Structure 1
Amino acid sequence: MTTHLDDDLLARWALGDEAPDGPAADHLQSCQRCAGSLAELRQVLDAAGDLPRLESPPAEVWSRITDELSLDPDRAEPTVIPLPDARRTPNASVRRFRGRALVAAAAVAAVLGAGVGVGATLIVQDDEKPTVQAVVPLSALEGRSGTGTADLLKAASGEQLKVTASGLAAAAGYYEVWMINTDGKRMVSLGVLDPSSAGTFQLPAQLIAQGYRIVDISLEPDDGNPEHSRNSIIRGTLPA
């Protein structure tokens, strides 16, 4: 019976913590199964780095949201939600990596051109045309200008959000698309929006069902800070 390489060892090689050597390296050269597992882990790690991130929103952002949704501000304190980082988990198993692979496969990242800063638009291509589940207007917040629409789509790869904006001022920095939870505690960044064209973003599974229904477009400075800038420009809410 063939003995295959340990899952933790393959994970460490994929993470770059160790390099194949000795008998293990010889086995890797001759075993298609182990070589395929290592290649899969490396692909997942590359894709995992482009998944949407969860951020802790600034107090000013939540103050506006709680006012709009008539939430009790004392019960709507934002909380930090840490995400596991596979690159920092040397003992991660193949099963864990394959679980993340299912998520990563649903979000194909296309990094925008130079000068964009942080963030990436998640563009999805499906053989079948997505169906429209809901369309909501995006309206300018007080003291801001611009308008737009957010289309919630159902595609073969899952739910998508198509965002179209117009009238956004040309300003230093970049525009970013966020999904804000109606509980007043959490938000997810989907990526960068080109204000001159529509952007289509793959939504993580069950995101809308979990209450992330507020579509927020913010103007972000190109300063390398991944947190919300507190400068929301247009916003709308998807139906429950």
Structure 2
Amino acid sequence: MHPTDEVLAAIALGDKVSHSDIEHVGGCPNCSATVAELTDLKARVAATADVQLTDPPELVWAAIAAEVDDHRHEDLPPATASTSSDAPVQNPAPVSERHWSRRAWLFGAAAAGVAIGVAGSQLVPRLTQSQPTLLAQTTLDTLDTKKPGGEATLINSAGTLELTLRVTPLDAGAGYLEVWLINTDLARMVSIGVLPGGAPEMVFPVTATLFDQGYRIVDISREQFDSKPQHSGDSVLRGTLA
């Protein structure tokens, strides 16, 4: 006869148990494996003794409750067509096989509490992190005919500003397409990257400093392979973020 879960937990905890139980565990692969798992769990709990735990928000507890409820319903025996009160009650398994004893349960609960605390301190910020925020957007038009050719959006994603361009296929001619941010004073500009020819969408990281200093005019220009870093003056599309 196997020792109870309580006895196995006591062995893992280092508590005093009978010599016969210890001998049984030493010769029983299943019980020995269980004690090894509990001992490893004990070590993990001890290793997290200095971890500062944080209380997860209600949404975390709600998710845990839903998961537990799902498993509880999975464990219920299937309903039968018979509803007679004379039908014998079937017990699917002895209680000792379906549940840990109180002490073994407390052992697991203590470890689970630490695990939830550690996971909560790491995952809660990610669970509660705000979604990307739209800061500004604009339609990109041609300079001569003001024909719309695309759009630009500036979003804040986890503290990083990203400028996304969505345009109709553009012809770079014999050169390439370059993306610029021009200051609203029309006296300063900075290149933020190259738009591959034919690319319908591209994301460019930008700094909040540029946006705050007035670099809000998005410009796509045709450039030649002439080793000149200045804007060519041949703008294909332009729009002001607002």
TM-score using structure 2 length: 0.43
When you count helix as a share of all residues, which structure comes out higher?
A: 2
